[in-house]
A and B are shown apart, each in its own frame.
Chain A
Amino acid sequence: MTARHPRTPAPLLVIGQRFLTQLLIGQRPRRTGSLWPSFHSRWPRWKWVSFLFILPRRRRSPRPQSGMKVRPVLSDPEKQRGRSAAVAIAALVIAAGIPLWWKTTETYRAWLPAARISELEALQLELRVEVEVVFARGTLSPEQQKKVPASRMREQTYESCCKSKSLCLVEADHALHTLTETSCGSVVIYIIPEASALLPQDMRVYVGRSRTALLRSQVASVVGAGLPEVLAALDPQMEQVLQTMSFNHQDVTAALTDRLRPGLSTRDSLADSMRAFKSSPGYEITFSLLNPDPKHHQLHWDVEAALDAYIYPLLHKMAPVANFSVDSQILYYAVLGVNPRYDASASAYTLSADSLAHVINPVEARLGSNAASSNPVLNFLLYVPDSLHSPLIIRNDQKQEVASNAFHSPRWGGIMVYNVDGAYGNDTQFPVDIAIDMSRVMGVFLSQLRLMLGFQQTGAPPGFVLEAAGREGVAEWELDRLLWSRSVENVATASASITSLAQLLDQIANIVINDNIAQQVASAVTALQAAVAELEAGNLALALEHSREAISASERAFFDPSLLHLLYFPDDQKFAIYIPLFLPMCVPILLSLLKIFREVQQHRAEKRAKRD
């Protein structure tokens, strides 16, 4: 007999029970000519004996008939013990189990300042501009001069030797600028007498490059000599000046366009808001030179010097608004996607205004961008047409030539076409070395850059003269205007982000709110309140700083990668998860509790019956 596995199932051993006798007694029933082999197992005898305990043993008591239930008869103390055990388990489950389950399946939600956030929903912005009004000699009559309380009486005679009338106004503005120290956001208005020759006849107001304005007005003829009457007389004109230099209703509504119902802003301001980039912590500017014909034109552009001279001053002035990163590249064999038409009358190739829209897309695929940042990109392209298609001019809707030979696309950038066919004749040796006149190019790019960054080209009211910014790129009051609208935009965007984030976190109870999100939200709310306070006080620079802080903190909180609400569980899924876990546990407890309850009730009923 071969060795068998010790855990051979019982029926087989029952069959082989006769061999157990050999094990127990120590002899096997010998038979001559036995067919069975001898039993040599590798296990000692006593191990085989232990199998007896695995074998099914016969019952001592007779098997009960089927259909007859046998209930274990328990004595009263045992029943009581059973009852108290059931009650204790139920109590444990309810007292300890349910809170434990609740706590362990809770999501961590850091505390958010909900009260302050709800305050933000009803945010009221008050913008205050500091205006200093300076009356020049001759504007006030003597009694007015006595009665008007002057905070500063300055005896300053300004003798000017004006070489020509043309420079007079600029000089005057420059000199007046050095007199007073103007802070960011404030405006100084100089009232000059009606008869002054500084301004030409038709112009009433001159706005200089810094924050000063010259207003020609006759105040001496005002009835009533006190300060309030004088200022009341000047009020409408001063308001006009302030609306040009600081902000007006259209600017503010344009800054808030996405938060307002459509239809509230005018179409012009909407066009302006579509053109300029939204407020962003940084921008990337790329200057590209497109040379489709390197065989004929070898172009040299001194872009670094040009950027230093013309573009960086503007960008340095804009440093409080955003960070800028500038780069440049040259692309060879890059063609415009549109075929220009030859116009014999002008003997040049022309691009009509309609085809300009299709120029940008094929080129954009070739322009790279900085993969590291997600800032908006402004592209400025300088296209030098190939010798076959030179000269190339752009025509506007009225089929007229455009002086700048350039066009721009809102929120994208600008393209300028630079013709070089005049630089060489027919029989020069190719490739021709051509140096590009960067001042002309940068003049166009600078004006396009101003448009993209948000310096609107709104027309001035009649009678106004606005001094051009020239080489500096932007006048200080223009920058102030931008700062006002940016601050308002930042405050509006940040408060909208915070309120919608709070709403989202409220609605979805399953999202985990980490500590860093709560911290960002708290700092955003603090910065917002500080920005609003500064705007009310009239400190524009501080207000802008706080609003930038607020918007960056709110964006970081809103776009935090951990706030993904992949947590929509339909109800049937929730049941499917919890039922297999809790049902097997809860049903016995509930049933035993019910049984106890019924027994108690029965007991009480019996007692009552006994009493009765």
Chain B
Amino acid sequence: MGAVMGTFSSLQTKQRRPSKDKIEDELEMTMVCHRPEGLEQLEAQTNFTKRELQVLYRGFKNECPSGVVNEDTFKQIYAQFFPHGALPCLEGSPCMELPPSPALLFCLVDASTYAHYLFNAFDTTQTGSVKFEDFVTALSILLRGTVHEKLRWTFNLYDINKDGYINKEEMMDIVKAIYDMMGKYTYPVLKEDTPRQHVDVFFQKMDKNKDGIVTLDEFLESCQEDDNIMRSLQLFQNVM
């Protein structure tokens, strides 16, 4: 009988041991801390005032005490802005175009793919983590930068493999990611047409020499010709 009791207790201790090691590993990871460069330096490098940098840093530090954002945290933060989980199919969402079926009653909102591309765009040095300087630099461009800089940044975002060209597959991925944020339909057959149509329209507009890829110059030229885009670039100017 005592042997039985002994085996029970030893089983329990075995289970406890792996979790202890995990806790030690986690402690090690959180020790890594990063401090940004001085306030004056950042002020010189970006288009923000000292006060704005202070506000930004306080928010950043509150969320990420270690000073760096990794991809998972980045995805979590971005996902909070888009309603989680199942959304009822709204008017105008892509699933409305599919034949009505009970399986289509809910769309799953998934912002993680677009967040992944965003993270890669923010993480200019491709280190796998976004420091405060990267964050502030990107925000400075997007909110206070010139039209040229903003378009260049957007091109960088669309260019997933960072080879300097946007091809149809990359564009397709981006557009699908954006549509996912509206609601990934649970219908088994993914309706390819709507994103594809969108991509075709985009390429028709942007691809001047019709060679199937869009270069930075083509992109800049086409965007500057479009009034809508020019106007909407000013929308997010006064966010701070």
Partners in one complex: no
Q: What residues of chain A have their CB less than 8 Å away from a CB belonging to chain B?
A: none
Q: What residues of chain B have their CB less than 8 Å away from a CB belonging to chain A?
A: none
